[in-house]
Structure 1
Amino acid sequence: MTSPLVSVIVPARDEAGNLPDLLNEIDAALAAIDHEVLVVDDGSRDDTWATLEGRAAENARLRPLRHAQSAGQSTSVWQAGYEARGEWLATLDGDGQNDPADLPRLIERARRGDVRLVAGHRTRRHDDWLKRLSSRIANGVRARLLGDQTPDTGCGLKVIHREAFLRLPYFDHMHRFLPALIQAQGGRCVSLSVNHRPRRRGRSHYGLNNRLWAGIVDMMGVIWLRRRSRLPVALYAHSPARRAKPTEFIEHTEPTRSEA
């Protein structure tokens, strides 16, 4: 089986009301791009799994995965990344607030070859005041402590090179720190502005406790990981002519920057 260019990963929990429209939008946005779609049902209690099974019977691009109990967004994305077959992974949330119409532009930017991750930047949010406030505080603290120059790491819309993703250390909530983790291994990241939409159905599973406070605790772990990392480092291979030729173990590029 030929591997697709892009594997779209959608973590979803109790999103039966949003998934049909979202899957239709993904298919329409990527009609000209070879892709597959992996939706991870993260222990849903509604009709999410039945919805996915019905859609998969009609669409060979859709590959549903399921957790019997909720394991969280990071675990869902991590496991789907290993199951994916595409060269690039494109992630977006299952609640329909990320706009699949932004995917082709992010994919095109990623394929220029000079970055490992393209992150979405929601310049105009459609969330309640508490969610906007906690996100603004978390992004501000993260930017000051990590210096990842990524204005909105909480945006679910990202395109990341699969090989680079699989080299990252796994931990719960890692999806919030993907730019910093990629940079710690010498990769470059950029941010592009993307559309953000109101939630149409269902309710958010994130609040002040599991978004802001948990994020600050996790950030301390990311700081430790970055300080203990020794990558990137040049790796030299033996040559038959007894002359070592330098080979970059992981490409080291210029610091990340945000792009409009």
Structure 2
Amino acid sequence: MEHSANERIKLHGFNNLTKSLSFNMYDICYTETKKEREAYIEYIDEQYNAERLTDILNNVSNLIGAHVLNIAKQDYVPQGASVTLLISEGPVVEVPEAQLDESPGPLPESVVMQLDKSHITVHTYPEYHPNEGISTFRADIDVSTCGEISPLKALHYLIHSFDTDIMTIDYRVRGFTRDIHGKKLFIDHDINSIQNYIPDNMKELYDMIDVNVYQEHIFHTKCKLKKFDLNNYLFGHTKEELSPEQTRQITARLKTEMDEIFYGKNITVDE
């Protein structure tokens, strides 16, 4: 690392570093019939419509102390939604040192950070398998900031806002800023892993894999829910209604779907 997070470096001009957080989540469900699949998609579109997504992004904006300059939102036909917020620096004059460390951020109760020339976006992608009864909902959220603070401080709240089976999280710092002597700084805070920005009680729920390229300031974490309760994945049914063979087959399909998303490859399963 180029310096300790506790050191307040004096910069020449504005902090021009761009810090980008990409939060990608999946919800997975078993929907046996076409009617159930359509009902699931309708439920997801209602649960995560453009209005609610706008509320979530507004809370993210408040968490990082930003002013919302413009909001563009759209519910799509037949499914899905998108929201984009253009944001600018908020009223906080100096970033508290406690917010520069490598630790989880707060839920939306107070304004603690600042940024400028930044944006927050979300896009949703409900879909289903044509013949195997698997339906999925994916949401992609991007938070891009310029300035001293990392958008990773919004990660705790984002995880808290979605029912998530699989998470893929990417963080990258781009560009450079200069200290008062003209020396380039390509990162202005310590970071060992994205996992350090996730609260311990949440990390206990997931299996996690890190892939980090420290010299390029690129960080990647994948998370898959550990506990599997079939009742949480059945839409309109309970596992008590299923035969042992149905339970085995449906469980295998759901776990394969989760593994394929988590590992990023198709898996052949013998029935």
Using structure 2 for the length normalisation, give the TM-score: 0.30
Select the structure that is richer in helix.
1
Q: Which has the higher contact order (CA 8 A, sep 6+)?
A: 2
